[in-house]
């Protein structure tokens, strides 16, 4: 009996833990998805502002300048970062939820059978006593106190001519027999159902852990992507602020010094070159893939972060910008416009969207 109770208790504990695993996994996934969608929306807002306002303004100003060394600006894709999330979120949502069954199968049946066994035992004891004492069975038999006392005395030792026989012993013996019958029946039935419950609970627990592990892969990807996008947004914000400032400076140069680059003062030439370097550096990172078709953060995003950090710091510190490769070493898959500064834009190795 104690083994049966232990198995049933263990089954219930496993089921409770399995439910907790599933609930915590779903909550964690929903939170990671919500945070990532917010980060991507903010990144797309910055990207759109850069593409449609700041870069466009740069093009309008820079390509008015005559004689400046060539610069290459690829077209910026209209495909938003948010559209790329579907390959990740769909894979998370496609994971089938786990159904956790209750570990109480067989309990009601065991309880019902136990009560029935107890009643049958009591009925059998009184039936035997009625026959042994020659008491006729009629509707008043079991309601007559004297008849009941006589039957209980027989059960409580009278059957063996025990001198201390009494109705108290008879009632106690009947109750003990009924309890023994109930416990035996419950134990026999629950021994079978508790073993089955434990087996099913172990399977449910294993399914819950598997569910957590499968979802954790994509949850980790979302958390990692969210962290990388936080830094990515700071970098784009920096590019936007500085390029807006360079646009204002170029507007002033065009107004005060004209269109001929060769006639500009050295300080003005330097400002135009920094503007071109900044624009040429930011355009590639606006065209990266942030999520692969396998639902993993793209290498392009990590490369963009790595290669943009030093450029961003140089902008902030007013230092010389990182060297830009010559255009011969900088093929572009997208149509581009060429004019402006000699050198090399910040390059991000292109990873095709699958």
pLDDT surpasses 90 at 265: yes
If you average pLDDT over every residue of the chain, what do you get? 80
pLDDT surpasses 70 at 323: no
pLDDT bin (cut points 50, 70, 90) of residue 161 is low
**Is 30 within the bounds of a domain?**
no
pTM of the model: 0.67
Rg (CA), the chain: 42
Q: Which residue has the higher pLDDT, 32 or 158?
A: 32
> Six-digit token pair at 95?
């994971």
Tell me which residue range forms the domain holding 44. Answer: 36-97+221-338
pLDDT surpasses 90 at 264: yes
**Is 62 within the bounds of a domain?**
yes
**Is 351 within the bounds of a domain?**
no
pLDDT for position 192:
61
Q: How many CA atoms lie within 13 A of 305 on its CB side?
A: 16
pLDDT bin (cut points 50, 70, 90) of residue 109 is low
Percent of the chain residues topping a pLDDT of 90: 37
Average confidence (pLDDT) over 225-249: 95
Q: How many domains does the chain have?
A: 1
> Six-digit token pair at 91?
């894979």
Q: For the ranges 22-31, 121-130, 156-165, 337-346, which has the lowest average pLDDT?
A: 337-346
Inter-axis angle of helices 167-257 and 266-286, nearest 10: 150
Q: Which residue has the higher pLDDT, 303 or 338?
A: 303
**Is 70 within the bounds of a domain?**
yes
**Is 63 within the bounds of a domain?**
yes
3-state secondary structure the chain: CHHHHHHHHHHHHHHHHHHHHHHHHHHHHHHHHHHHHHHHHHHHHHHHHHHHHHHHHHHHHHCCCECCCCCEEECCCCCCHHHHCHHHHHHHHCCCCCCCCCCCCCHHHHHHHHHHHHHHHHHHHHHHHHHHHCCCCCCCHHHCHHHHHHHHHHHCCHHHCCCCCCHHHHHHHHHHHHHHHHHHHHHHHHHHHHHHHHHHHHHHHHHHHHHHHHHHHHHHHHHHHHHHHHHHHHHHHHHHHHHHHHHHHHHHHHHHHCCEHHHCCHHHHHHHHHHHHHHHHHHHHHCCCCECCCCCECHHHHHHHHHHHHHHHHHHHCCCCCCCCCHHHCCCCCCEEECCCCCCCCCCCCCCCC
**Is 186 within the bounds of a domain?**
no
pLDDT for position 186:
59
Average confidence (pLDDT) over 53-78: 90
pLDDT for position 150:
74
Average confidence (pLDDT) over 295-309: 88
**Is 61 within the bounds of a domain?**
yes
In whole angstroms, give the CA distance from residue 224 to residue 219: 9
**Is 245 within the bounds of a domain?**
yes
Average confidence (pLDDT) over 143-171: 72
Task: Please say whether the beta carbons of 308 and 283 come within 8 A.
Answer: no
Q: Which of 91-100, 192-201, 304-313 shows the highest mean pLDDT?
A: 304-313
């Amino acid at each position: 009996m104690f083994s049966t109770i232990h198995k049933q208790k263990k089954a219930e504990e496993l089921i409770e833990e399995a439910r907790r695993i599933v609930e915590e996994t779903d909550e964690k996934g929903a939170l990671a998805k919500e945070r990532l969608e917010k980060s991507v929306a903010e990144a797309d807002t910055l990207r759109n502002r850069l593409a449609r306002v700041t870069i466009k303004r740069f093009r309008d100003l820079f390509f008015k300048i005559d004689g400046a060394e060539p610069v290459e600006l690829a077209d910026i894709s209209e495909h938003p970062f948010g559209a790329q999330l579907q390959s990740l979120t769909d894979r998370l949502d496609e994971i089938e939820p786990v159904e956790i069954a209750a570990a109480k199968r067989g309990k009601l049946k065991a309880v019902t059978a136990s009560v029935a066994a107890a009643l049958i035992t009591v009925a059998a004891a009184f039936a035997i006593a009625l026959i042994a004492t020659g008491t006729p069975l009629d509707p008043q038999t079991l309601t007559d106190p004297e008849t009941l006392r006589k039957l209980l005395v027989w059960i409580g030792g009278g059957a063996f001519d025990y001198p201390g026989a009494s109705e108290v012993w008879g009632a106690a013996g009947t109750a003990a027999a009924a309890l023994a019958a109930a416990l035996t029946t419950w134990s026999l039935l629950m021994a079978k159902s508790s073993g089955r419950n434990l087996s099913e609970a172990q399977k449910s627990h294993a399914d819950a852990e598997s569910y957590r592990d499968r979802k954790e892969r994509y949850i980790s990807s979302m958390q990692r992507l969210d962290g990388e996008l936080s830094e990515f947004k700071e970098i784009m914000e920096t590019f936007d602020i500085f390029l807006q400032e360079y646009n204002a400076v170029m507007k002033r140069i065009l107004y005060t010094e004209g269109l001929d680059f060769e006639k500009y003062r050295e300080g003005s030439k330097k400002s135009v070159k920094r503007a071109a370097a900044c624009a040429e550096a930011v355009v590639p990172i606006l065209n990266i893939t942030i999520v692969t078709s396998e639902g993993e953060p793209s290498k392009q995003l990590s490369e963009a972060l790595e290669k943009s950090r030093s450029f961003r710091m140089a902008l902030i510190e007013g230092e010389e910008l990182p060297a830009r490769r010559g255009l011969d070493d900088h093929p572009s898959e997208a149509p581009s416009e060429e004019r402006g500064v000699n050198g090399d834009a910040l390059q991000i190795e292109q990873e095709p969207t699958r």
